[in-house]
Structure 1
Amino acid sequence: MTLRVERLTFGYPDKPVLRSVNTGDLPVGRLTALLGPNAAGKSTFFRCVAGLQQPQAGQVLLAGNDLHAATRAELIRDVCYMPQSFSSNAALTVFEVVLLARKQLQDWRVHDDDVSAVSHLLLRFGIQHLAERYIAELSGGQQQMVALCQAMVRRGRLFLLDEPTSALDLRHQLEVMQTLREITREREAVTIAAMHDLNLAARFADHILLMEEGRVVASGATDDVLCSSELARTYGVDIELQRSRDGVYMVGARI
């Protein structure tokens, strides 16, 4: 199974946003980082792929099937989207909101495997101690961790995560990205995470999509894209690459 986006186009009458986006094949079991400067079209790309906005043209092919021809139920089943911002004043606990996410489009009876799945995921992301806390009581970073669990607790085939580490401190960023990569491989899913931190992408991504002004200008293995001239040109900075002792690129930039 692969994800392939072909000629995806979206815009407003006076403002094109996505300009014939092509990704190439994104294989299962691999974590893809979606990079690009602000206003490159990353969030709109996610919403169009997830079926939340209707593109003017193009296809989104998951295992050869066009998601834009899928029913709403099929989209919710197969595509798990975590938006960039998350906040809630609902009078629900962390455990309850993650459980509700898992039960989407299923019967609402809670089974032992549902409770086990939620408990396991909270433990895996290190927030099991928040299970009985109310969402409204949490910090922004804690709420972001809950939103991640809401996305990953589902049995989808495609996970779209819009800046999943933006509100987290350094340690939690590393832990979350490591966990996302492990889960992606275990489930043989396609996971795309939009991010701004090039060093996180260098350490954890298997593949990179680089966007600029509504187009994918580079797509390929992480090392290949990091070493390409497109990266520096897209961000408008000079890029310096060094290898760490464990062989991972470290990205430095200067104006």
Structure 2
Amino acid sequence: MEITLDNVCKDYGEKRVLDDISFSLGKADIVALVGPNGSGKSTLIKIIAGVHSQTSGSIGIDGTDIRKIDPIELAKCIGYVPQHFTYTLYSTVFETVLLGRRQHIKWSVSDEELSRVQHSLEALEMEHMAGSYMDQLSGGERQKVFIARALAQDPKLFLFDEPTSALDIRYQIEVMETMREITWERGAGMIIAVHDLNLAYRYADTVVVLHGGKMAGYGKPQEILTPECIRKVYGVDAFVIENEQGKFLVPFRAGSAP
């Protein structure tokens, strides 16, 4: 599945929060949206997910305008994990993940549906928590539950808004490695908004740098996330180190405001 954004703009009243956003996403690609707070990452994710509509421009899925796709069919195609999620306190982890299959279930829950939930929990090493109630979990554990719910949905496109923000370093890496493997195995695309530039550097095929609602960079992480770009967009001095594990960004000083 190919996703194409063409000159997407979003206004809230007289304020333009996204201006002329254009990029494309192919099969098994990961696109990372990076940029400071308030740069428009979450808004863009919500527009692609169909939560909000753009003011102008178009978003196409395999050449079809997203606004012309039946909402139920669109929900089957897109697995969306928002930055702030709601849940029922007294539902179990298994029940919460099963909700990811709600667009596919017609009359009753089949063995296949239950199996998909089980496999999604296993992918995130949460099968032992299937019977736990959501209000018993930590913030990071709940975040992993909602990622598992998106996996159970088996979409063609994953939309993640800061999916690792409540996770410690180990689980950030585990989740990103799991998602990288899943995009390869399923041929699914992913658009992910992240603050950690090194996660984008390591796992993304392409980065879109947003600054003040506009695109300040678009391309391969190693080519776009340069010290010059970081200084311009974030107002931070940084340098790149390279070893046998790859390249890494190291911020070391707050510079002048961008």
Bin of the TM-score, shorter chain as denominator length? over 0.9
TM-score, normalised with respect to structure 2: 0.93
After superposition, the C-alpha distances for 1:203-248 in whole angstroms (9 at most, x for unaligned) are: 21121111111112211112111237333311111220011322x2
Question: In the alignment, which residue of structure 1 is the partner of 2:28?
Answer: 29
Give unmatched runs, 5+ long, in structure 1: none
**Aligned counterparts of 1:125 and 1:217: Cα–Cα separation in 2:** 34
Following superposition, the deviation at residue 105 of structure 1 comes to 4.7
Post-superposition offset of 1:97: 1.1
Amino acid at match of 1:185: W
CA distance in 1 between counterparts of 2:160 and 2:151 reads: 10
- Distance of 1:83 and 1:130 partners within structure 2: 22
> Is residue 203 of structure 1 aligned with residue 193 of structure 2?
no
Rounded to whole Å, the distance in 1 between the matches of 2:27 and 2:242 is 27
Unmatched segments (≥5 aa) in structure 2:
none
Provide, for residues 60-112 of structure 1, a one-character-per-residue CA deviation record: whole Å limited to 9, x for no partner.
Answer: 11211111221211221111211001242432110111112113253141112
Residue 137 (str. 1) matches residue 136 (str. 2): yes
Q: Is the 1:81–1:151 contact (alpha carbons within 8 Å) kept by the matching residues of 2?
A: yes
Residue 14 of structure 2 aligns with which residue? 14
Amino acid at match of 2:178: T
The percent of aligned pairs where both chains have the same amino acid is 38
**Do residues 147 (structure 1) and 146 (structure 2) align?**
yes
In the alignment, the residues of structure 1 paired with residue 107 and residue 239 of structure 2 have an alpha-carbon distance, to the nearest angstrom, of 53
The two structures, once aligned, show a CA RMSD in angstroms of: 1.4
Deviations 1:137-174 (A, max 9, x none): 11111100001111121121111100000000110000
Aligned residues: 253
CA distance in 2 between counterparts of 1:194 and 1:212 reads 13
CA distance in 2, matches of 1:100, 1:21: 32
Residue 3 of structure 1 corresponds to 3
* One-letter amino acid matched to 2:249: V
User: 2:249: which partner in 1?
Assistant: 251
Matched with 1:91 is 90
Helix, strand or coil at the partner of 2:173: helix
Cα distance in 2 for residues equivalent to 1:244 and 1:75:
43
**Cα distance in structure 2, aligned partners of 1:88 and 1:102:** 16
Task: Quote the Cα distance in structure 1 between the aligned partners of 2:61 and 2:221.
Answer: 22
Partner of 1:39: 38
Match of 1:111 in 2: 110
CA–CA distance in 2 between the matches of 1:155 and 1:16?
34
